[in-house]
Amino acid sequence: MQRIHVLQHVPFEGPAAIADWALERGATVAVSHVYRGDPLPALDEFDMLVVMGGPMSVNDEAEHDWITPETTLIQAAIEADKIVFGVCLGAQFIAKALGASIYKASEKEIGWFAVRRVESTKPEAFAGFPETFTPLHWHGETFDLPDGAIRLAETDVCPNQAFQYGRRVIGLQFHLEATPGSVASLAENCGHEIGDGLFQQNVEQISDCHELCDNAGQILRSLLEYLRSA
């Protein structure tokens, strides 16, 4: 796996630690900034497709004309047995491409909150999550588990925090790619979304994150190496 292509939906949610890992491994990283009209890649241009987050919904086709073609690309990449990795909105894109519904969650999750690993008897399932871990969350929507997918992680508010489809497709509702810089950018641009809900932290709590980012990065590397070996 030498060619990674990133689909980026807003200027302030880039690949962050994913790009760091890729460059350490000698992979090339290309980015389509779809929000500014960059073309989507052809299937033969990448080995791994990384679908990033964003504040919009995958149901907002009327507001964003790139949502439908991006969903079609993700579906085609899955069918072509490409490696596909989605983060937050990216996981929702994968779920949608696999025919699942995406909808408003019962609670927003914004901040650093614990997630539980879901045990699976499937031998192909990713087993690298600790029993509990604390990633960054920033979402108000969730999705049904796609048919044929394996649930990997959960919270009480959002049972489908992570899932796997086949050996090469994983979606995360949370942000393992977070770095102090990416967290600061997200807080600056989306801090207005924070309310007073039970699962919402303030900007100061969210930004105190160096150790949390380091811990998340270790799990991210384990997951990406797993996908790399697929």
Question: DSSP string of 5-30?
Answer: EEEE-STT---THHHHHHHHTT-EEE
Q: Would you tell me the crossing angle of helices 210-228 and 17-24 to the nearest 10 degrees?
A: 50
Lowest mean pLDDT: which of 9-18, 117-126, 140-149, 188-197? 117-126
| 188: pLDDT strictly greater than 70 | yes
Instruction: For residue 194, give its domain range.
Output: 3-228
- Of 217, 77, 197, which is closest to residue 138 (Cα–Cα)? 197
pLDDT band at 211 (very low <50, low <70, confident <90, very high): very high
In the chain, beta strands by DSSP E: 3-8, 28-33, 48-51, 83-87, 102-112, 115-117, 132-133, 136-143, 150-154, 162-165, 169-172
> Are 44 and 82 contacting, i.e. CB atoms less than 8 angstroms apart?
no
How does pLDDT run across 103-130, given as a tens digit for each residue? 999 999 999 999 999 988 888 899 999 9
pLDDT at 221 over 80: yes
| Residue 1's pLDDT band (cuts 50, 70, 90) | low
* CATH number for the domain that contains residue 104: 3.40.50.880
Q: pLDDT grade, residue 61 (50/70/90)?
A: very high
Neighbours of 62 (CB within 10 A): 7
In the predicted model, is pLDDT for residue 40 greater than 80? yes
Rg (CA), the chain: 16
pLDDT tier for residue 72 given thresholds of 50, 70 and 90: very high
Residue 112 tokens read as 């650093």
3-state secondary structure of 49: strand
Among 227, 224, 183, CA closest to 18: 224
Average pLDDT over residues 141-161: 96
Give the chain's domain count: 1
Question: If pLDDT is split at 50, 70 and 90, which confidence band does 227 have?
Answer: very high
What is the average per-residue pLDDT within 52-71?
Answer: 97
Mean pLDDT of the chain: 97
Which is nearest to 52 in space by CA: 103, 3, 112, 8? 8
